[in-house]
Amino acid sequence: MSLVSSIAGFFGYKPATPQHLPLTRGPRVAGRNYGAADQNRLTMDFQGTRVSADTSLVNQLCVMRARSRKLFTDEPYARRYTRLIEKNVAGPAGVQLSISGGPDAEYLLSQAEAAAIERRWKYWICSPWLMVSRKGNWSQVQRKALRNCCIDGEVFVRVVGDETSPYFIALDWFAADQFDEQFNSSLPNGGEIRMSIEFDSKGRRVAYHPFKRNPVDYLPGSRTRGMGERIRVPAEEVIHFHLDDLIQQSRGVPWLFATIARINMLGGYEEAELVASRVAASKMGFLVNPEGGPEYTGDGQDAQGNTITEAQPGTFESLPFGTELKSFDPQHPNGNFAAFIKAMLRGISMGGDVSYHTLSGDLEGVNYSSARVGLLDERDGYAMLQDEFIQGFCLPVFRSWLIAQATIKAVPLSVDEARTFSQIVWRPRKWRSVDPVKDIAADVQSVALRVKSRTQIVAESGGTFPATLAELEAEEEAIEAAGLMQPATPIPGSVPPKKGKEEEDDEDEEQVKPKPQKNGRFSVG
């Protein structure tokens, strides 16, 4: 008995006797199961994987890359997808930038300093000093990077200090084959090397270990020195752009990885159907000679000894007695050929996140509404890729260049300021409106209602508001200097200004002003 119970008993308190109620069995509830995890005869061949992304890639990446390159070489749909990515992510002019500056304390640079840095950047990206090979400008480099990402899944660029360049920096390509997927090891400092990429104990990228030369470069007569030799390149000197589909994924995979097998099978089917259709159009039939009968000679023989028969419209040929003609009439192309190809291409377009009519070029049955919906969704996907490309490729290139310029005192920034400089506006390519008249009218109404700014409208078209104002000012000055007058064109969606009392009275006077007629009299109206 506890101390509390003893004191309570002294004052006459008696604890209540507990009553045990009989247990009743409730209804049996079946355990909750997920159909996706059921193991039955219908799902025995549907086995998933629990291994990490790198564990899968270590043995499969090389095969996927080789197959993706094969499709890019031979299959028009794979090549079309690559061109779509180039045109819509980079575009003709590539991703451009503007550097912000101003008099306020929030800006590190004045407007003049920002404009000077921006001019120097443009000089570099348009000069032969951009690449170590002295070949290619900034837009070409971007398209090449995107092309190789579509095919190989990743692109490697090395930032090289070039003392012969006035900018002290240049870019150089690494081939994806130079990074061996089988090069994996643990390091004494707690780090590790995963597929030729060195990580520290906290998972940060420290260095890359590529082969000095491309190990699959078998060009006859080329030098082979350093073919199997690896070099260690610090991570800050390498720009490795790829899309991370899974957590702890060290390398990139071809962007059409989900449709590689389907595209290959579709190409084989089209080839087989094409050959069968050609055979069906070429073969006429077979001549069967009776046993012991005269042999059919036709019109001669070809170099291989096959009998040749000339077929002309409206003519009949006399065959030897007993010779029988058996026709050969294969039904190709198949009546469902077009529908089957369309169904396959829809799956391929979904795997590449593009619309069917864009990938295939098939505009049959596409109306304005469906085309608009498909384009808007597709352009959202391109906009997401543009953001990935800017953050993973364009920004590291610009930051490396800015650090190099700060090192040689070519810009009014310290090296530390250049490392963290973020007052940049990236301007990727934009797309023309599907219905520009309606969109402009909507923009006018949005500005009038104060729900949208002119800066936003200009940014959506890929420009900047200050640059647009400067261009408009320069145009007005040029027009005025030339003595020209701009035509007054009404703005779609705008409301004409309300007229004052004097203007209305003037219009009334003009309406009632007498007009002379042919007979010399005047009429009012």
pLDDT digits (tens, 9 = 90+) for 35-67: 788 888 888 888 888 889 999 999 999 999 999
Count of CB atoms situated within 10 Å of the CB of 471 = 11
Q: For residues 262-284, give the mean pLDDT.
A: 83
Reading phi first (left if > 0) and then psi (alpha if -120 to 50, else beta), residue 402 is in: alpha
Euclidean distance between CA atoms 36 and 38, whole angstroms? 6
Q: Residue 524: what pLDDT?
A: 45
Nearest to 332 by CA among 282, 369, 382: 282
Euclidean distance between CA atoms 30 and 278, whole angstroms? 61
pLDDT tens digits along 125-182: 999 999 999 999 999 999 999 999 999 999 999 999 999 999 999 999 999 999 999 9
Q: Residue 332: what pLDDT?
A: 75
Of the two residues 198 and 508, the one the predictor is more confident about is: 198
Per-residue pLDDT band for 193 (boundaries 50, 70, 90) equals very high
What are residue 456's phi and psi, to 5 degrees? -65, -40
Per-residue pLDDT band for 436 (boundaries 50, 70, 90) equals confident
pLDDT tens digits along 377-409: 899 999 999 999 999 999 999 999 999 999 999
pLDDT exceeds 50 at position 291 = yes
Q: Residue 38: what pLDDT?
A: 83
Euclidean distance between CA atoms 73 and 454, whole angstroms? 46
- The half-sphere exposure of 268 on its side-chain side, counting CA atoms within 13 A, is 6
Tokens 């700014």 identify what position? 453
pLDDT exceeds 50 at position 315 = yes
- Asked if residues 231 and 215 have their Cβ atoms less than 8 Å apart, the reply is no
Mean pLDDT over the full length of the chain: 83
**HEC per residue, 75-100:** CHHHHHHHHHHHHHHHCCCCCEEEEC
Helix (H) or strand (E) holding 157: strand 154-160
Q: Where are the domains of the chain?
A: 52-184+239-258+365-431, 261-295+319-351, 434-482
- Output the CA torsion sign for 10, 15, 17, 18: negative
Euclidean distance between CA atoms 242 and 237, whole angstroms? 16
Q: Say whether 285 sits in a helix, a strand or coil.
A: strand
Q: For residues 285-314, give the mean pLDDT.
A: 67
Of the two residues 332 and 392, the one the predictor is more confident about is: 392
Q: For residues 10-19, give the mean pLDDT.
A: 62
Encoded tokens for 271? 């080839």
Q: Residue 525: what pLDDT?
A: 44
Q: Residue 300: what pLDDT?
A: 74
Euclidean distance between CA atoms 253 and 150, whole angstroms? 9
Residues in the chain: 525
Helix (H) or strand (E) holding 185: strand 185-186
Q: Residue 435: what pLDDT?
A: 74
What angle do helix axes 53-74 and 260-282 make, rounded to 10 degrees? Answer: 30
pLDDT exceeds 70 at position 444 = yes
Of the two residues 84 and 14, the one the predictor is more confident about is: 84
Q: For residues 342-362, give the mean pLDDT.
A: 90
Per-residue pLDDT band for 483 (boundaries 50, 70, 90) equals confident
pLDDT exceeds 60 at position 459 = yes
Q: Residue 487: what pLDDT?
A: 62
What are residue 229's phi and psi, to 5 degrees? -90, 135
pLDDT exceeds 90 at position 464 = no
Q: Residue 102: what pLDDT?
A: 82
Euclidean distance between CA atoms 157 and 110, whole angstroms? 32
In sequence order, the 6+-apart residues with CB closer than 8 A to the CB of 482 are none
Of the two residues 311 and 467, the one the predictor is more confident about is: 467
Q: Whole-model pTM? A: 0.76
Q: Residue 133: what pLDDT?
A: 93
Side-by-side strand order, sheet with 205-208 = 185-186, 192-194, 197-199, 205-208, 233-234
Which one-letter DSSP state was computed for residue 289?
P
Q: Residue 254: what pLDDT?
A: 96
| Residue 35 Cα to chain centre, angstroms | 34
Q: Residue 523: what pLDDT?
A: 47
Question: To 5 degrees, how large is the angle CA 478–CA 484–CA 490?
Answer: 100
- Asked if residues 395 and 241 have their Cβ atoms less than 8 Å apart, the reply is no
Q: Residue 305: what pLDDT?
A: 74
Per-residue pLDDT band for 11 (boundaries 50, 70, 90) equals low
In sequence order, the 6+-apart residues with CB closer than 8 A to the CB of 494 are 444, 448
